[in-house]
Amino acid sequence: MAASTHDDLARRLRDAYTGGVIPPLRDGLDPVNADGAYDVQTINTRFWEAQGRRIVGRKAGLTAMAVQAQLGVEQPDFGVLFDDMAVADGGRLDPARAIQPKAEAEIAFVLGADLPDPETTSEQVAAAVATVHAAIEIVDSRIADWKITFADTVADNGSSAFFVLSDDGKMLPGLDVYSAGMVMEINGAIASTGVGAAALGNPLNAAAWLARTLAARGEPLRTGDILLAGALGPMVALTPGDHVRAIVGGIGEASFTYEKV
């Protein structure tokens, strides 16, 4: 029965990409049912892989304690990054590809080594990082009006949509990802501010949580994977024509324009 229900919920989420938003999934998922929600996410991950989409990394979400409290959970969540979710630094994202998008600034890591240990520490993550990037995640929700529970966002691939990485990745040694300040501008005006410590106390902590969680599931992070380590400040809704720029102190900046290509 659960398998049939989860297949139905997964199909509803897939159909929403073209058919428009859907109500929350509470008829089939308890709001804090993590196992069921990840089952729905996995069903769609396998579906999209079969359609030719390629996994290039993972994103950590709900890394801010305040957001966890709001959704009644005590843990982050994760979603899959596919190759066709990447937007070029300085490029454009066609509004026709999104539903109700919001932008948030993050720090991203690209791995230079595998992380197969279910007890991975932040120090092990640091040793495995090849490059560090300023990043923008464009989150989106297939759930109407963003009225999401923990289970809704997990099932919906962490409310993911697109991401931008700065072209100029930096080596981790010498960088202060903990206290790095972030400013995100929309059309040149400050729209969001934050700091590296907002992501589970340190973006490396968020990445280590992600590594442990995925290793325990038998899906360890691999060399070349992109890790989005969580929002450094509040997310901001997008309007067609918006130019978004995120600056992360000591690391760099990334930008895109939300307009027709």
Q: Which domains does the chain have, with CATH numbers?
A: 2-257 (3.90.850.10)
Query: Residue 242 and residue 66: Cα distance in Å, rounded?
Result: 27
> What does pLDDT average to over the chain?
95
Over residues 220-233, the mean pLDDT reads 97
pLDDT at 72: 74
Over residues 5-25, the mean pLDDT reads 96
pLDDT at 64: 84
pLDDT at 65: 78
Identify each DSSP E strand in 90-196 by its residue range. 91-92, 102-111, 129-139, 162-165, 181-186, 189-195
Query: What does the block give as tokens for 70?
Result: 């709001």
Q: What is the pLDDT of residues 153-179, one digit of tens each?
A: 999 999 999 999 999 999 999 999 999
Residue type, 204: L
pLDDT at 73: 77
Q: Which residues contact 222 (CB under 8 A, 6 or more apart)?
A: 111, 114, 115
pTM recorded for the entire structure: 0.96
pLDDT at 1: 47
pLDDT at 3: 72
